[in-house]
Structure 1
Amino acid sequence: MPVKQEQIPGDAIVIRGARQNNLKNLTLAIPGGELVVVTGVSGSGKSSLVFDTLYAEGQRRYVETFSPYARQFLDRMDRPQVDAVEGIPPAIAIDQTNPVRTSRSTVGTMTELNDHLKLLFARAARLHCRGCGKPVVRDTPQSIYESLLQVPSQRLVISFPVNIPKNFTEKEVEQLLQRQGYTRIHARSKGRLEVIQDRIRMSSAERARVIEALESALRVGQGRVNVYPEKSGSDPDFSVWRYSSGLHCADCDIHYSEATPAAFSFNSPLGACETCRGFGRVIGVDFGLVVPDEAKTLRQGAVRPWQSPSFRECQDDLVKYAKKRGIPLDLPFNQLNSFQKNWVLEGEADWKSWRKSWPGTWYGVRRFFKWLETKAYKMHIRVLLSKYRAYTECGACHGTRLKPDALLWKLDGKSIHELMLLPVSRVNGFFQSLSIDGEAAGLVLREIRTRLGYLCEVGLGYLTLDRQSRTLSGGEVQRINLTTALGTSLVNTLFVLDEPSIGLHPRDMGRVIGVMQRLRDAGNSLVVVEHDPQIMFAADRILDMGPGP
């Protein structure tokens, strides 16, 4: 039977004389822009053709386009045993292995959603004061005027605060203000003067006069204006409306810095918690290991490290000071109240140092371990410390990994960490219903919606964005990489996949096939090593390898 000869298309990948591993001088052409499934019995050379020949050559050629300086930072692959490979584009391998070992990598960083979220929060989030919880906005003369229109019949005093520098007296500051025409003082306090700019009644005052008074007060008051209702009686400060032209809560007198994308990233020194450096955990004394059996009393040896002969003296100190302070020695540890437990573990609050406070003040378990750390140059001390150390949640950021100010910026009432804790499906719903003004923010929002939609399409809607990458299964990593490739809108690229059906329920296979077809329709070539009939039926071509006649 004659073999049908097919003309090789111009964009095909042509392999001539492949001899890698099990391949026996194989020559073939793989059409570009198609989904090709490579199948066959074990040992037939599927992986040798797809990964060790196709991917290796595509990656090697791509890396060679960089400068010699840049190439030293990239993984370089050996040239495969092949006579020639023609028409091969840059290659990306998406396999089942999970190479991530660092806890800094999360689902959000792998999918690049974190990068888009920090851009969106820097542009569109609203700041809320840490003191009063109210939104912090920049006031302008026009916005202040609009808010004052709500009290048209009230006679108002427009004033601004002036802080008295330490190298000036109050009288000298008043003389400087008088030279500028400000002669009336509304109120005096320690280190501050409330200077009157104007007195007005909104119902009769011209708009230009009010705006001019507010502009002058903001300029001389360094961005702060206070408006008092004029009231007869002994208490002129009955109520006050405070305004500020900067990122400053006028009520709490707290200044805030501008939002930058780096402030919302735990992988940046500008945004990472200073205590845990963005890991969310710190290594320290685990009191669960120090007091392993809470049914024991203090006299029976509830504090385990003090029961050895080396530190028996500390157990004697505990008994001695517990008697002095009225701490029960014969009550099980789990029946002590919170104050008594804190006394045992943290020591007394008026402790200053070993030289000044001991003896006389109880040091507690934590200070005992801090003292041990000064002796850590001894091997047996390091071994002892390792027995009672464990990773615990960072007390400064409470596991958010970010500096506290980053959590004050919110989108529709949710901070960036609150969104990270939600499943992808709920985050997707949140952003689908979110409306934002501004062209740049709209572009970022559209990209976020697209990537979240891809994750839901491949059945990963149950993951959270803060899930560590190293805890993901091979199938989850492969699907995340697929959606990341789809989200980056790559074209004219060769994608090499290694059995994407492994570990997938048949219901999810259709979703993965849909993603692969989208990559193909975008102008990419896909070569998939696979045995699943569903993917084989969806393929444009099938390459069956193995022993033949």
Structure 2
Amino acid sequence: MESMGLVTDGMSKPKVDDIIGLSPSIAISQRLTNRNPRSTVGTSTEILTYLRVLYAKLGERPCPNCGHIVKPVFQDDSDFEDEIEDLDDQHSDEDFQDGEFVECNNCHTKLPKLKMASFSFNKPDGFCPTCSGLGVVSTIDLTPILDKNLSIKEGAVKLWGDTFGEHYSKVFETAGKHYRIELDASKPVKDFNEIERLVFYHGVESEEFKKLYPDKKTPKRVMDGKFEGVITFMKKKSADNIQKGISNKKIGACFKMQECSDCKGTRLRKESREVTLNNRSIVELSDYTIKELLEWTESIPENLSEDSLIIAKPVLFDIRKRILGLVNIGLDYLTIGRAMTTLSGGEGQRLRLASLLDSGLTGVLYVLDEPTTGLHPKDVDKLIHSLKKLRDLGNTVLVIEHDLDFIKKADHVIDFGPESGIEGGQIIAEGTPEEISENPNSVTGKYLTTKNRVVNENKLLSKDKISIINAYEHNLKNVNIDVPIKELVCFTGVSGSGKSTLVFDVLRNWTMQEKVKCEKIVGLEKVQRIITVDQKPIGRASRSNVATYTDIFTQIRTLFSGLDDAKKRNLSKKHFSFNIKGGRCEKCFGLGVINLDMQFLPDTDVPCPVCHGKRFKKDVLQVKYKGYSISDILNLSIDENIEIFKSKPAIHNKLMTLKQVGLGYLELGQSTSTLSGGECQRIKLSKELGKTSDKNTLFLLDEPTSGLHPRDIDKLIRLLKRIVREGNTVLIIEHSLEMVSNADWIIDLGPHGGSDGGKIIFEGTPMEIMECESSHTGKYLKSFLN
């Protein structure tokens, strides 16, 4: 610990008296910390690094002069290992010296020697010069914030508002006087001439404008006519927001990411894309799934010369070892070109776990948080096998988990309860899975036996349906399906089989009139409203919490402002908000904490010395409802608040909906930035359910059972069935067998992930799928219920 220095200084001490026998620990959470747009599955697992070695040493390329294939030349390979280690070599290939080039045997043109950097989209030698290796370029569309029918004075730029609009109008016209040209801020933008448009969009400091007036110096001050231009303003504002970590929807809506026209999203320059090995370029391999890549590596040796094979063998060994680690943990459907930012929390966790399995560490405590999230039961079996291998190496594996099949195969189970929130925190049962199932105090134990499990009996389904015809988005193989309306429909299948593509990329995007690879979808006229409830984060703003997001806080503030004590103190509704001046603590601006800049140390939050973390002024805190201040209410759980507000139907009903989706343990004032993907989804669902009870609504849900205990899944099932009984349709992507067994209709995709998926394996009821031999879901559902 002493060797870690300042790393440990920012860690708070755990609230425990003593921990005995603690081994060196590695925590593998589901929180994705890698937000680098350049990071891919290939770079993260080092598979791409080893492929770059192969292509640099064994790659063939066409001569740019005559088109003749230039073969690799084997000279002195003494620097081979040095090149693998030196991944930061950025010297230019243009200034090659003796030994740093190869010669075309046909026309004798000298070509720069291929290096690992030639195949890296993070290095100048390899990346596409147009997009700098990102594969996409940013373009600006001012339509959301610009009305060309108005003048600058009339508010053409909506983002500026009245105050800034008047300011920029003066600067615009002052620039005209400085350059002795006519710039009229009263003229509609659509009527601007070429010079007016140039100044308006790009400003007087742009190179295009300076070329027109080379003898005129640019004004030094803004008020002297230094007009920066709308596009320049937007770019600076966006860059500043990114640097500060601020999200602005109005500015963000103007920036569109488009595929790079030069590299077509491949990230590499033309010369690198033309190099092939075993008749495949490294760009083509980036689109291969892990499974397909394994097959490609196995076919290489038979197509290589003896000299090439000497170089390739050790590299191929390392590539296969990493590939097999991903296959064994159920990630064989991923491609090595997949961006790390697009992975789910569960996928990111398993990717890190795969690298640890290869490390060979012993005597380590591994801590995993719900590793089965997003996994089909078939892939759960692979995960359990991998974790047992870790255990057998002499490690301890500590797992937080709700999956019943996973719990059944554990060596030891520690069950917490009896309830959630303040009513939990006790060890209810401990022992083997068999001992837990026989313990009457254990809620989990009751679900470990099959006697409490039920399957939805076949029933008469609605005749109305939504028909998706010839869908071929991503890996879908011309899918044709009928989705019954006013039913609970589960889309199942192994990871990567095409479930999300079918439900979200095809069905949802079609309703949003986006371009979709599908012939047509009919039957949507029977649906009045479509609600998508996914697992994307709600927001990272420090002021957003459960109460504000669900609009419960608005009603609570109204209640508090109507109390006699509040009226005596002349406190209105605004005084009970921590977001505006009036009642909030002005020392911390209603945050309850103050951020301290520690210079070269990490910033730290400390409780506000004035309000002591309560967010509000003293007179506001003295107003109480049933003995609780507005701050107390925010610090209590949803379950506790249900009891407090049981006589206030408007508030109580919304709180009950949050409890029904399994969120009763959350504090009402808990920041939304701390919620997991599953919690985000359920809080969104709760908010939508609290809005209206309209019929004919189509709900699209993405694994809503993520992070839920079986008992909470039962509650969620009852809630979703109630929604269906009210005349709505619920489509769910789901792996939970508890949820699947309660569906009215199942659409199973597969048979495998990636390019081996995208087919409809089965359509029917839970009872019928159990008899389908080709369905992995049916096989595991039958085992689950029997």
TM-score (norm: length of structure 1): 0.49
TM-score (norm: length of structure 2): 0.35
Bigger Rg, structure 1 or 2 = 1
